[in-house]
Amino acid sequence: EEGLCVYKSLSILAVCMSVMQSGTQMVKLKSGTKGLVRLFYLDEHRTCIRWRPSRKSEKAKIVIDSIYKVTEGRQSEIFHRHAEGNFDPSCCFTIYHGNHMELLDLITSNPEEARTWITGLKYLMAGISDEDSLAKRQRTHDHWVKQTFEEADKNGDGLLNIEEIHQLMHKLNVNLPRRKVRQMFQEADTDENQGTLNFEEFSVFYKMMSLRRDLYLLLLSYSDKKDHLTVEELAQFLKVEQKMNNVTPEYCLDIIQKFEVSEENKKQNVLGIEGFTNFMRSPACDIFNPLHCEVHQDMDQPLCNYFIASSHNTYLTGDQLLSQSRVEMYARVLQDGCRCIEVDCWDGPDGEPVVHHGYTLTSKILFRDVAETINKYAFIKNEFPVILSIENHCSIQQQKKIAQYMKEIFGDKLDLSSVVAGDSRQLPSPQNLKGKILVKGKKLPCSLGADAEEGEVSDEDSADEIEDDCKLKPCYSNGATERQVESFIRTKLESLIKESQIRDKEDPDSFTVRALLKATHGGLNVNLKQNLDIKEGGKKSHSRSLMGNFGKHKVSKMRNSVCCSSSDSILKTLGIRLAHRRRTVKLCRALSDLVVYTNSVAAQDIVDDGSTGNVLSFSETRAHQAVQQKAEQFMLYNQKQLTRVYPSAYRIDSSNFNPLPYWNVGCQLVALNYQSEGRVMQLNEAKFRVNGNCGYVLKPQQMCKGTFNPYSADPLPASPKKQLILKIISGQQLPKPPDSMLGDRGEIIDPFVEVEIIGLPVDCCKDQTRVVDDNGFNPVWEETLTFTVHMPEIALVRFLVWDHDPIGRDFVGQRTLAFSSLVPGYRHVSPFHCIHIINKQLIGLRGLFNKNPKHSSAETSGHCVRKRSIGDRILRRTASAPAKGRKKSKMGYLEATEIKDSASEPTDLKDKEGVVRRTSRSLQARPASMPVDKYLLVGLPCPADETAQDAKGKENTSGKILPKLLLV
């Protein structure tokens, strides 16, 4: 019976896949419209859903990997808005996808079609998430190669001629001489149909083009010039270069069986160049320490000794004015490792408290739904405690409802009576609080009697309240309607979004308090007025003067001059009045009693009054002042209490501030907008990935006891420094910049690599390789970058690939990792290739460095290739195109301001972020590295000699060894 059941389920899934790939006509429901009829279908590779007709053409798709969940029936907001549609719930379903929880609401013509799609999508989601990493990468690569072939086959005859191949080479960022392309074409063209390549022949051609010269040379150096590695030679490579311990013959045999593509090589137990390439580009050779994928730090110290992953306005999917509030955002951030989430509570209709961003037009969700979602997802990925930052704006009656819901839904998770802190003057540890939910909020003062059911508490530190003069409360009796106001604001936000897309993704301005009038509530108010009766010229002039104020951080002055003097009259014109802050609010006993170890206290001067369990809240502007004026006192305070830093109210676009200054003084709860992608969230992800992504990372010992000045030129004189030595070797299949105006038709990129160290101010610096001209497919840099790091425990290492342009640079890709998570040996930086890292005390890192194509990894395909076609000719037919042995003529990224100031700062220069950009390795003066093929003339480097040299470098030091890197 079990066998019959399995067979039946498989046949059902096969029918689902067939129906989905054939396509189904469904109604796509959209806000403000009656719905659009479209044909939805699953692509042949089962990786994405597409629909037609669509103006977006290629972009009209949803990748299966991006789907968060599929819900049945009429559960989404849009379905509720279309109540008059009277749709059959059994024909309705919603797909939640993307980082911002976008919704696709669909209606089928009958329940059977809806059931087919729901079943099929859930199967695909489960299958992809459970799939082995290597198998998934290979499947993705195979699909990508097939798709590339089909797109290059313009006439659809299943064959590619030489001209189609040349066009494809340009699209793939390859600039090889036509004679080399023709040579590879002829070698791959082995069937009777001469002059064209079918898919199998194209796969062989693609392998020839993709073979890695640098990896082939590495293989030769350990194989005694043979084109394969034996078990013993592979073991020697793993021990000497990869610094692996306990390498057994069984482990090496397993590598050969898993990664080798030639059956002949598998039988002989040897690893050829294709298998070696597959292994070197697999997760086994990633730069990230696999031990850090699990919790490995001491979790028995007080809460204040940990950095805690924290979210701001968790419920929002986008900006702070108009975006949707969704309970799914709580599920997403909790599963992403966030442990401190924010819940803004307001009075709702029918006595039901709601969650939304007050004094704005964001949508509302029920508090009860939020609590149920938190309860469901809080401890799925890890059991360490979750902190609920409750921002209470409710009446006493609805506060009691909030307390009631939390008790009913969270149950024993709120019971902290059994938690023992050990020392009553210390906070409990994450280990002792496992499975618990802490409520961060206001607590009634001890001066009130125990029988008092309510009392007054300060409202001065409410982390999400908009500044006094910028709170908007609509009243439509004598002015603009809500629709008009929303239209004005939406127009403004769209211009902000467009501007942010044009801005450099690494623009340092995005880490300050958005030095833009356009990003303030006051600015929006001004803009609303100007849209009505002020000419464009006047707007530009006004913006410039106010931007000047903001750029100088004159926040309070600007607030007074802009909001107070002009906003009031403008808002009256639009029928909007300002709400005034209440200095105190009433708090009910039931809600107060739920607060135990996380009592929110008003922002004030940093003092040590001996009490525990307080959480001091700062806006980023106030925290910035505290860091600048009292860094050491701030650090001492954070050794006993928790501090939360949240974004300025002016960040209406949900941009993020630079968290480094606050981490550097030990602030635990640095709250960021998780819904906003970009540099800051990449830094946050790298920081918390170091301890199994559990949301808790132990602070360095120096931050937990004693103190130091993080702004000092030598903050820790007693601690040994580390040296990071990175040898950037090569890249592979770097895509064209994502925002390239010409897309695939654009010029072949001229890539260079920038490495940035991010940590204490003294450690913050950047360095970069030279530019390789016209090669995005397989560039070779062979260049070493060296960095000295005073506090490696908190340092982050950021790898970036740029496309050099005569008038600037274009962002290609990045990866950010914690310094402590780097491992030694030849390593790839995914989604980049190989980097060699060596760590001398001063820890060193040499590396190879490569990047995958936009849509997939670039492993070689599984089809067999004749050894004669690869091994014998690889050195003369490689696509690596080693950089020319000449000094670099192009100037990488050195800003004019840096060049101008070089006289006063001869050694190091600071960019707009205050980050040192080293000039001792000037691009103009830096000699070009030796072309790889010269190794064949002067002899390959001896691994034994290199090891001896490394040992000599470590003679008087105590640091660990780090890797050699390959860019993927």
CA distance 53 to 37: 9
Give Cα separations from 849 to 274, 662, 727, 827 (angstroms).
Answer: 18, 31, 8, 8
pLDDT at 7: 47
Residue 97 known to be catalytic: no
Q: How confident is the model at residue 481 (pLDDT cuts 50, 70, 90)?
A: low
Residue 638 class from Cβ within 10 Å (0-12 exposed, 13-18 middle, 19+ buried)? buried
pLDDT band at 397 (very low <50, low <70, confident <90, very high): very high
Give me the percent of the chain exceeding a pLDDT of 90.
40
DSSP assignment of 490-504 equals HHHHHHHHHHHHHS-
Strand 576-578, strand 599-601: pairing: unpaired
pLDDT tens, residue by residue, 232-257: 999 999 999 999 988 999 999 999 99
Q: Is residue 536 part of a domain?
A: no
Q: What is the pLDDT of residues 303-324, one digit of tens each?
A: 999 999 999 999 999 888 888 8
45 part of the active site: no
Separation CA 385–CA 668 (nearest Å): 14
Per the listing, tokens 């859903």 go with 49
Q: Which of 229, 254, 285 is the last residue of a domain?
A: 285
The tokens describing 907, both together, are 């050694």
641 in any annotated domain: yes
Give dist(CA 597, CA 604) in Å, integer: 19
Q: For residue 438, count CB atoms less than 10 angstroms from its CB and return exposed for 0-12, middle for 13-18, buried for 19 or more.
A: buried
Task: Say if CB 457 and CB 444 are below 8 A apart.
Answer: yes
pLDDT value of position 473 = 54
Domain-located, residue 960: no
Mean pLDDT (the chain) is: 75
Asked if residue 957 is part of any domain, the answer here is: no
Asked if 786 and 734 sit in the same domain, the reply is yes
| Residue 890, in any domain of the structure | no
Q: What is the pLDDT of residue 219?
A: 93
Res. 65 pLDDT band, cuts 50 70 90? confident
List, edge to edge, every strand of the sheet that includes 24-29: 61-63, 48-52, 36-42, 24-29, 102-107, 92-97, 67-72
CA distances from 107 to 25, 29, 90 (A): 9, 8, 9
Question: What pLDDT band is residue 452 in, cutting at 50, 70 and 90?
Answer: confident
What's the pLDDT band for 526 if we cut at 50, 70, 90?
very low
Q: Which of 356, 521, 828, 836 is catalytic?
A: 356
**Regarding beta strands 92-97 and 102-107, do their DSSP bridges make them parallel or antiparallel, or are they unpaired?**
antiparallel
For residue 353, the number of C-alpha atoms closer than 13 Å in the C-beta half-sphere is 26
Torsion angle defined by CA atoms of residues 152, 154, 160 and 164, in that order, rounded to the nearest 10 degrees:
-70
- Which of 112, 128, 144 is where one domain is finished? 128
Per-residue pLDDT at 101: 79
| 371 beta partners | none
**Per-residue confidence (pLDDT) for residue 269, from 0 to 100:** 95
Q: Are 864 and 261 in contact (CB under 8 A)?
A: yes
The average pLDDT across 876-904 equals: 32
Q: How far apart are CA 862 and CA 864, in angstroms?
A: 6
- The Cα–Cα gap between 464 and 651 comes to 11
Contacts of 750 (CB under 8 A, 6+ apart): 771, 772, 773, 774, 775, 803, 804, 805, 890
- Confirm whether 394 is domain-assigned: yes
> Are residue 171 and residue 89 in the same domain, yes or no?
no
738, pLDDT greater than 50: yes
Per-residue pLDDT at 755: 95
Residue in 421, 457, 422, 447 with CA at minimum distance from that of residue 596: 421
Q: What is each CA distance from 642 to 39, 262, 378, 388, 622, in whole angstroms?
A: 53, 58, 21, 14, 16
Which residues on neighbouring strands pair with residue 756, listed in sequence order? Answer: 766, 798
Q: Are 731 and 967 contacting, i.e. CB atoms less than 8 angstroms apart?
A: yes
Neighbours of 717 (CB within 10 A): 10
What's the CA gap between 94 and 90, in Å, rounded? 12
Q: At what angle do helices 249-259 and 231-240 cross, to 10 degrees?
A: 100
Integer Cα distance of 370 and 326 in angstroms:
9
CA distance 896 to 887: 21
Looking at the fold, whether 172 and 235 belong to one and the same domain comes out as no
Domain that holds residue 609: 303-462+586-703
Catalytic residue among 312, 521, 542, 624: 312
Q: Mean pLDDT across the stretch 377-397?
A: 95
Looking at the predicted structure, is the pLDDT value of residue 638 above 80? yes
The answer to whether position 635 is within a domain reads yes
pLDDT in tens, 185-240: 988 898 888 899 999 999 888 888 877 888 989 999 999 889 999 999 999 999 99
Q: What is the pLDDT of residue 557?
A: 33
Backbone φ and ψ for 356, nearest 5 degrees, come out as -170, 180
Whole-model pTM: value is: 0.74
The answer on 223 and 109 residing in a single domain is no
pLDDT for 916: 57
pLDDT(402) > 70: yes
- Say how far apart CA 896 and CA 901 lie, in whole Å: 9
Question: Is the model's pLDDT at 766 over the cut of 70?
Answer: yes
On whether both 145 and 243 belong to a single domain, the answer is: no
Of 809, 827, 845, at which residue does a domain stop? 827
Given this model, what pLDDT does residue 604 score?
53
Contact 838, 950 (CB under 8 A): yes
Q: What is the dihedral of CA 594, 598, 603, 605, to 10 degrees?
A: 130
860 has pLDDT over 80? no
Does residue 581 sit within a domain? Answer: no
Q: Token pair for residue 906?
A: 């001869």
pLDDT value for 447:
79
State the total domains in the chain: 5
Task: Let me know whether 320 and 398 are in one domain.
Answer: yes
DSSP string spanning 728-788? EEE---PPPPTT-TTGGGSPPP-EEEEEEEESSTTT-EEEE--PPTT-SSS-EEEEEEEEE
CATH number for the domain spanning 118: value is: 2.30.29.30
The single residue listed with the structure tokens 């002016």 is 650
* Among the ranges given (90-94, 618-622, 835-839), the one the predictor scored with the smallest mean pLDDT: 835-839
**How many C-beta atoms lie closer than 10 Å to residue 629's C-beta?**
11
Q: How far apart, in whole angstroms, are the C-alpha atoms of residue 857 and residue 843?
A: 30
Mean pLDDT of 671-676: 94
Q: Exposed, middle or buried: residue 794 (CB in 10 Å: 0-12, 13-18, 19+)?
A: buried
Confidence band for 580, pLDDT divided at 50, 70 and 90: very low
Q: Are residues 316 and 458 in the same domain?
A: yes
Which one of 50-59, 511-520, 863-872, 923-932 scores highest in mean pLDDT?
A: 50-59
Q: Is the pLDDT of residue 624 over 60?
A: yes
pLDDT digits (tens, 9 = 90+) for 713-735: 999 998 899 999 999 999 888 87
CATH number at residue 681: 3.20.20.190
Is residue 262 domain-shared with residue 324, that is, in the same domain? no
**DSSP structural state of residue 58:** G
Residues 6+ positions from 949 with CB-CB distance below 8 Å: none
Write the CATH number for 259: 1.10.238.10
Judgement on whether residues 168 and 76 belong to the same structural domain of the protein: no
Confidence (pLDDT) at 8: 47
Same domain as 311, residue 274: no
Reference 88, options 100, 104, 106; nearest CA is: 106
Whether 590 and 457 map to the same domain: the answer is yes
pLDDT digits (tens, 9 = 90+) for 907-962: 344 454 445 555 434 333 333 333 333 322 333 333 333 333 333 333 333 344 45
pLDDT digits (tens, 9 = 90+) for 534-549: 333 333 333 332 223 3
Same domain, 253 and 335: no
Q: Which of 659, 626, 675, 646 is nearest to 389 (CA)?
A: 646
User: Tell me: the pLDDT tens digits for 341-355?
Assistant: 999 999 999 999 999
pLDDT at position 577: 37
| Cis, bond preceding 831 (omega within 30 deg of 0) | yes
pLDDT of residue 247: 93
Q: Which residue has the tokens 């307080």?
A: 614
> pLDDT-based confidence at 784, cuts 50/70/90?
very high
Percent of the residues in the chain that have a pLDDT greater than 70, as a whole number: 67
